[in-house]
A = this chain, B = another copy of it.
Amino acid sequence: MDPTPKLRMTTQRQVIMEELRKVKTHPTAGELCQMVRERLPRISLGTVYRNLDILSRSGLIQKIDVAGQEMRFDGDIRDHYHLRCLDCGRVVDVEMELLQGLDEQVAAESGWDIFGHRLEFVGSCGDCRSQRTVN
């Protein structure tokens, strides 16, 4: 059965977590791999993916699969919402209270078990907007 194989804290895993916690940019696996390579030049992208998967399953980081985009990762495990720029793709946190009662409302209406919700705002960040008005 092998219920929960015990995690080993390897150098790679350690550094991946540290680098991810260091930034607020919600990097993709590839971006994070680049960051980690500054300290561990021989780390492979496959290892980064494997660790990001394990760490998010363990609840140590968050996988934020932003709609229709490359997967991104967040060292901040508190539940919060995101805002995505349609022009440059960057993702930032939204400072906003969590919406209360919605999950219960949808559970009652649908008859499903509701685990939670994902709210994502889409727009254009200041930088991209000003570039667009130039054109």
Q: Which residues of A are in contact with B by a Cβ distance under 8 Å? A: 63, 65-69, 71, 83, 85-86, 92, 94-96, 99, 102-103, 105-107, 109-126, 129
Which residues of chain B come closer than 8 Å to A120, judged between CB atoms?
67, 117-120
Residues of B within 8 A of A83 (CB): 106, 110, 112, 114
27 contacts between A and B (CB under 8 A): A65-B69, A67-B68, A67-B118, A67-B120, A68-B71, A83-B112, A94-B109, A96-B102, A96-B109, A102-B121, A103-B121, A106-B121, A106-B123, A110-B123, A111-B126, A112-B124, A112-B125, A112-B126, A114-B121, A115-B122, A116-B121, A117-B119, A117-B122, A118-B120, A118-B121, A119-B119, A119-B120
The answer to whether A110 and B94 touch across the interface, beta carbons within 8 angstroms, is yes
Cα–Cα distance between A85 and B119 once the two chains are bound (Å): 16
Q: Provide the bound-state CA to CA distance between A119 and B81, in Å.
A: 10
Q: Which of B69, B113, B123 contacts A114 (CB 8 A)?
A: B123
Chain B residues whose C-beta falls within 8 Å of the C-beta of A110 in the assembled complex: 83, 92, 94, 123
Complex CA distance for A45 and B32, rounded to whole angstroms: 34
